[in-house]
Structure 1
Amino acid sequence: MIKPEKLRMEALRLPRTIERPHFDWTSFRVDAPKGKIFCTLPPHHEFSNVFLTVDEQQMLCEAEPEIFFPVPNKWGEKGATSIRLVKCDLTTLRSALTLSWHHAAPEKLRVLLEQ
């Protein structure tokens, strides 16, 4: 089970990550010119959303259907994926956050995770 504080800590461990409000949700963004969101956390803390490719989303949802599910709207059709925090472990969370961060980060920052 992942608690909101743990999710926050893990998201902020990724290079150049900042936390900002996104409407009434918390968002984690890459601190770069476009400031793309790679993770959101709603106030109820039941799940978190990450932004993956459609192929990555399909793979994770098929492999771990109790943990991952597509966001139930047009964003979900584009790869936005929810994570059930009560079912998730730390390794799985880190993997999903890293994938999502990688898609949001400019190419020059992506090498920071490869070092």
Structure 2
Amino acid sequence: MTPVQARALALGLPGAVEKPHHGLTSFRLPGAKGRIFATMTPDGAELRVFIKDDDARDAWIAREAAAVEPLFWGAKRCGVKVLLAAAKPSWVKELLAQAWRENGGAAS
């Protein structure tokens, strides 16, 4: 999948906005304190998706092993890295929706 497709999926979630974040593109919930639910690297190769639940992260890594890897913040696992070249829009949409909900998005 392409970075353009990933951006469209992230911004397709209700209220999602795009803002720069330390050299990355971030996708956030609306508002002054909008929580980040995903970021994309400048080259568009990786989408970093913030899934809080350990079991859910492990399930995504097992389910899509060719495209999904653990994401760490220091020693702490904080989400998953999606290698966009190996990803499919159908499941990336599902993954982004899960992260959006876990970070405060409300189903519409």
Q: TM-score, normalised by structure 1?
A: 0.85
Which residue in 1 is equivalent to 2:68?
Answer: 68
Aligned residues: 107
**3-state DSSP of counterpart to 2:66:** coil
Which residue in 2 is equivalent to 1:55?
Answer: 55
Structure whose residues are more often strand by fraction: 2
Equivalent residue runs for 1:14-29 within 5 Å: 14-29=13-28
Contact 2:71 2:77 in 1 (8 A): no
What value does the CA root-mean-square deviation take over the aligned residues? 1.6
**2:102 matches 1:111:** no
Equivalent AA in structure 2 for residue 63 of structure 1:
R
Which residue in 1 is equivalent to 2:87?
Answer: 88
Structure 2 stretches lacking a partner, 5+ long:
none
Contact 2:3 2:45 in 1 (8 A): no
Aligned mates of 2:69, 2:100 — CA distance in 1: 18
Equivalent AA in structure 2 for residue 110 of structure 1:
A
Q: Percent identity?
A: 25
Aligned mates of 1:31, 1:73 — CA distance in 2: 23
Q: TM-score, normalised by structure 2?
A: 0.90
Aligned mates of 2:3, 2:90 — CA distance in 1: 15
Aligned mates of 2:102, 2:33 — CA distance in 1: 12
